[in-house]
Structure formats: structure tokens, C-alpha cells
Structure 1
Amino acid sequence: MNVSLLASPQFYSKTLYVIGFLSLPIHILGGYCILFQTPESMKSVKSNLLNMYFWTTLLDVYLNLLTQPFLCPPPIDGFAMGLLSRVGINLPLHIYSGITIVALVAVSVVSIFENRFYLLWAKGTWWKFVRYLILIGDYIIAVLFFVPSILGIPEQETARKELFEMYPHIQAFDSPENRIFIVDLRKDNVYMIRTACTITYIVGQGAIFVILLQYNIIRAIKGMTISKSTANMQRAFLRALYLQVAIPFFIMVVPQIIIVFFGIFIEIQQETMNVSWIVTSTHGALATATMLYVQKPYRKFLKSKLSCSQRVEQFVSATTGVKSVL
């Protein structure tokens, strides 16, 4: 196959396996900290942290190890190279599940900020009743927005023949082991626009809750309804939450925005698609590592274990040194 290294399916697959297996210890540590090291003061946010952790970890494992979607632009087509592809799992199910999990990660992020807004400022308001409808609607959109593309999957043999006539360069990636599967033959602007609208809707909600949180803290300080120390404590927690969400969020969303932009206005190259998904695949590990660093209880726990380990090493070294002298 005469393709560049970045466009190569083999390079793509090996890179995802490396990222996936290196990420597993980070995820295990993150899950342990949420379950057993979350203090009482963070009890109200524990379930939301666990929800976001679950979806980000599932996305990480799904993309890097289980499916490894190799997409061949400009139409929506490709094949899976992960562990599930070896046991004959239905490929449309791979595609639908992967894209849906990405959307559910975004919704879980929004739910964290909505939860903080509700607990701090809207517990006794009409939002108490509306919030459930909004959150349920978010999850429904995440689960259903890709369904039209799955229902419109064409008959494969005819579609494959037409695909290779329209885009002969894609045939370089087709093989008996990895047969190209076509979701949509067209350069599907309808899908791109639908995806762009979904991203805008979910990201817009998150931005609104962040603005409302900051606005209400400032208003509460001016109205002297909370003390400065309480406000500073809330701000410190929110800053940690912003960092925990923002860094991995951009790692996940920016590549997808690039793909959508290129898909609508410019021809996507295979290298661009592969690099975008490789960058996205680091999202889960980065999200968990960021959480462990920015959330003070988890950071203190890890520091205590590291310092304990260092003291043990120093003791062993000193003991060994004494024994060697004797």
C-alpha cells in the first residue's frame, strides 16, 4: 500500500494501542480516587464526577482498544481495526456507539456545571423542575442525532463500486482483512451541519452555566449574601473544575471542529483525519490526569503515597548501607 506513514492504517492502529494501554493505569487510579478519596465536602459533586469519568474512560477504551475507527474521507466510510472487529461485531454498531459516546461525554460535562449552578443558586427556583427536562433532552439528542445516518446506510456492494469510481484513492486502504464499509456515499453536508448544530447546542449550554455561575458569585459578593471566604472557596473549586474540563475538552472538541470545517468547506485528507482521531484518543487519559492534579483531595492523596514511597526507599537504602558496612 503506497501511502504516507500518517495515512497508514497500521501506524494508526499501533498508535492507538500504545495510547490505550498506557492510559489504563491512569483510569484505574482516577476511578479509585473518585470512589474512595472523595471527601464529604465534595459529596454533592461526586456522582457527576463519576458520570463524567465513566464516559471519558469508556470513550478512551472504545476508541483506542475496542474499535479503532479508521475513517476514509470525504464520504462517511471506513473500517474498524480494534479488538471488537476480530469477533465479528456489526460495524454500523461500532460507528454509532463511538459517535454517541463522544456526545455523551460532552453532555456529562454540561451536567457538572448545571449541577453546581443548581446547588448554589437555583435550588429553590423554577429551575428545580425544568432542569430534568433539559438534561433528559440533552441525553436524547446525544443518543439520537446520528441515527438518521445509520438508517440511511446504502447497499454495500453497489455503494463500494460507486465509491471506488468516485474516489479511487480510497481503494488503497481496502483489503480482504479490512473491507471499507460505507455509511454515506455523498460528502454528507447534512451530517456535518447536524453535527455542528449538536456541538453548538451542547457547548452553548455549558458556556451559559459557566457564565451564570460567575455572575451569581459576583452578585452575591456585592449583595453581601455570602462571605468573601465562602466566595473564594467556591471560586477555587470552580477554577479547578474549569481546568479539569477545559484542557481535555479542547483536546476532544477542536479536532472534531476541524473535521467538520474541512468536511463542509475543504477536502479532508487521510492524514488530517487520522491525526484528528489520534489527538482525540488522548482525551480520556488527559481528563483523568487533569482531575487528579487539579482536585485538591486527590492531589493530596497522591502526594502522600509518593512521599511515603520515597521514605520507604530512603529507609531501604539506609538499611542496606548499614548492613554493607557491618
Structure 2
Amino acid sequence: MATSTDLYYETVWKSKCSSNEKSFLASWQGLSLFSHSMLVVFLPFYAFTTYCILMKTPKTMDSVKFVLLNAHCWACYIDILVCSLITPYFFFPTISGFPVGLLRVFGVPTSVQVLIGLTSSMFMGTSLVALFENRSSCIPSNRFRITKKKSRFLYFLFNCTVIIGYLIPPFCNIPEQESAKLFLLQTIPCPTEEFFYTEVFVLTIDKFWYNYLWMATGSMVLILLFQIIFYSVCCIYYLYISTTAMISPKTRKYQRSFFLGTVAQVVVPFLFLVIPVGGLISSIYFDYYNQALNNSCVLFFSFHGFASTIIITLVHHPYRTFLFKVVTFDRSSGRSTFLSN
């Protein structure tokens, strides 16, 4: 039985939109090909950096080994989600789309994939908070340091619970999909043909839930960002400004070096998040639909984990030294290279 969207496709879309030229990048095949190809290139770098953290981290960095590995794994996992497991084909400026990744092949419902993608992105932010909290708590004179493992566990459990909790209400109010798709055609009257022959998932069309999603998600991002900034300020104050002599000059120099490396590890990849997200938010604000732009933003977003991996390897002295040895085929043992700059 023909649906309303089928009727729209046969009468309106074919007469007004079918003649529109569509680039290969705007198709789901283009998105899938480019994203999967990128992952093939990225995976060896992910593996190499993971090996460096596990096997080449010196004793002086034991306190940060776990949180560094945790942040690295989350960044890589997000890239793998975007490039291979989910690979979202968005129809911005609407909150709709469909996945073209492996999870779809395995029959995972699209709503579940959307929930996985949103929570995973937020958890990646929490892993960065943990990285900066670790740097802050390693400074003995810091009055804001968290000293008890139980307190730290409850602190991050609360963060994760809030992230999951704010997503539950909109997922309990998902609209009827066929009527929702027809409603979206008022905003994007000429979507790509994929809109009509795939199972497009519409998260919401209700104005209340639409505003709730943007405001709640924006608030969560700001809360995570505030925590990162707070711990960064603590590090800056106690490492560069405070004259309290509770650590030796050598230890202070080491902690300064690692703090700067941590900042670089976060700031540089952050650009690969801000640029595509900014582009998508702009398309929503101006009600501008361009499928090639949507797909380009997804692909650009995928460089986040790769950039993070490169920065980790380059800014931390033990990993950089090991990388140099691998590249130059240096097998000499030499003197220890496990001292930080």
C-alpha cells in the first residue's frame, strides 16, 4: 500500500527534484566509501598509539597511564563508530537520518544506534574531564584535588548518570515515523532520493522536544567544558602562579610539560569537532539543506580521533622517542629515553 511519502515521491519529487544534480559525496555510497576507507588508514595509527601507552609508558607516568589510555580509546571508538559501525547519513537541518554502517547490517535498530552515538560522544567528553582531573589531583598543594578513589568513582558515576538520564525522555517520545517524514518535507522539499527508499529515523518533530534536545545537549557540553576549564585553571595556578613549595622544581617542570601536552592533546582534535558541529548548527539555524555538506561534516568529524592519536604520540616524549626509533629503524638500546622533557 502506497504511503503519503510514496505519493510525494511520485508526484512532487520526481517532477521538481529528480533533475537536481547530486554529487557522489552526497550519496550514501559516497559517504560509506570515504568513511570506511579513512578507517582503514586510521587503524594502524590507533594500534600504534595504544601500544605506546601500554608498553612504552615510563614509571614516572604511571599515575596518568590509565586516564590517558581511557581518553585515547574513547576518541578512537568515536571514530570507529562514525567511520564504520554507525556512519550516520544526516538530513540536517532536520533531526533525522539513517545509518549506513555495520550495525545496520547486523540489524541493530536505528533508535538504538542514535542513543549509542549520543551517549558515546558525551562519554568521550567525560574521559577528557578525567584526564584533566588526574593532572589537577596529582599536584599535592591543590586544595581541590580528589584524593579518595571512592569519591572519584562517585563523581564520574554522577556525570555518566546525568548524560544517560537527559536522553531518556526524548527517546520515550519518538514520533510516528511515516507522518514525521512527511512533516520534514516541509523543511527539506527536495532531499536526496535516499530519503524515500530507506528507513529514515526521525528523532523528533515536536517543538518542545526539539528545543529540549538542543538546550539539554548544549548544557551537557557546557558542563563538561566547565569541568575541563576548572581543572585546567587549577593546574595553571598551582604549576605557574602559586609559590607554595610542596613539589621539587624537577617535578614541577615535569608536571608542566605533561600538562601542556594534555592541553595540546585536547585542543588540536577539538578543532575537528567544532568546525563540523558549527557547520551543522548553522544549517539548522538558517534552514539550509545541502547533503554534500552534511556528509562532509561527518567525514571531517571522523578526523578527531586520528588527530588525537597523532598529538599523543608527538607531544609526550617517551612515545615520540619510540616513534623516532621505529621510523629510523633504530634498534640500539642506548640510554633510557623514558625521561620527560
Which 10-residue stretch deviates more, 223-232 or 118-127? Answer: 118-127
Instruction: Summarize deviations over 1:189-234 as a string: whole Å, max 9, x none.
Output: 32112111111111111011111101011344x2344343332221
AA in 2 matched with 1:161: L
> Do the aligned partners of residues 189 and 272 (structure 1) sit closer, same or farther apart at CA in structure 2, a change above 3 Å counting?
farther
Give the alignment's TM-score, normalised by structure 1: 0.86
Does the C-alpha gap of structure 1 residues 84 and 127 become closer, same or farther in structure 2, counting only changes over 3 Å?
closer
Number of residues paired by the alignment?
Answer: 308
Match of 1:78 among 91, 97, 100: 97
SS of equivalent to 2:96: strand
Query: Structure 1: how far apart are the matches of 2:129 and 2:103?
Result: 30
Matched, 1:209 2:227: no
> Is 2:142–2:238's contact at 8 Å kept on the other side of the alignment?
no
Matched, 1:57 2:76: yes
1:24 aligned partner: 43
Q: Secondary structure at the match of 2:108?
A: coil
Report the counterpart of residue 192 of structure 1 in structure 2.
214
Unaligned segments of structure 1, at least 5 residues: 312-326
> Would you say 1:244 and 2:247 are equivalent positions?
no
Match of 2:59 among 37, 40, 45: 40
1:190 and 1:272 map into 2 onto residues whose CA distance is 25
**Match in the other structure for 2:276:** 255
CA contact (8 A) 1:49 1:112 kept: yes
* Cα distance per residue 1:223-260 (max 9 Å; x no partner): 34434333222111111111112111221244224433
CA 1:170 to 1:122, structure 2 compared with 1: closer, same or farther past 3 Å?
farther
Measured after TM superposition, the shift of residue 91 of structure 1 is 0.5
Q: How far 1:121 moved relative to its partner?
A: 3.5
Letter of the 1:283 partner, please give it: H
Does the Cα contact within 8 Å between 1:247 and 1:287 map onto a contact in 2? yes
SS in structure 2 at match of 1:78:
strand
- Against the structure 1 CA distance between its residues 85 and 94, is the aligned structure 2 distance closer, same or farther, given a 3 Å change threshold? same
The secondary structure found in structure 2 opposite 1:146 is helix
Residues 126 and 105 (structure 1), Cα distance of their counterparts in 2 relative to 1, 3 Å cut: closer
1:181 maps to which of 169, 178, 201 = 201
Aligned-pair RMSD on alpha carbons? 2.4
Q: Which runs of 5+ in 2 are unaligned?
A: 1-17, 333-341
Q: 1:217 to 1:76 in 2, by over 3 A?
A: same
Q: Alpha-carbon deviation of 1:165?
A: 4.8
Is 1:269 aligned to residue 289 of structure 2? Answer: yes
Q: Which whole-Å CA distance do the structure 1 matches of 2:196 and 2:190 have between them?
A: 13
Q: Tell whether the 8 Å contact from 1:192 to 1:260 is kept in structure 2 after alignment.
A: no
Give CA-to-partner distance per residue, 1:157-210, whole Å, 9 cap, x none.
22223333553223633243x332211125623211211111111111101111
Q: Following the alignment from structure 2 to structure 1, what is the Cα–Cα distance between the partners of residues 322 and 289? A: 45
Question: Cα gap change, 1:174/1:3 in structure 2, threshold over 3 Å: closer, same or farther?
Answer: farther
Give per-residue Cα distances to partners, 1:257-312, cap 9 Å, x unaligned: 4433543x32243344322221111111111111111111111111112222699x
8 Å Cα contact 1:117-1:209 kept in structure 2: yes
Normalising by structure 2, we get a TM-score of 0.82
Report the CA distance between 1:122 and its aligned residue. 6.3
Distance 1:45 1:162, change over 3 A: same
Aligned residues of 1:121 and 1:216 also touching (Cα < 8 A): no
1:24 and 1:205 map into 2 onto residues whose CA distance is 30
Q: Which moved more, 1:50-59 or 1:149-158?
A: 149-158
Is the Cα contact below 8 Å between 1:96 and 1:147 reproduced in 2?
A: no
Identity of aligned residues (%): 26
CA contact (8 A) 2:119 2:163 kept: yes
Q: Using the alignment, how far apart are the partners of 1:53 and 1:66 within structure 2?
A: 18
Larger helix fraction of residues = 1
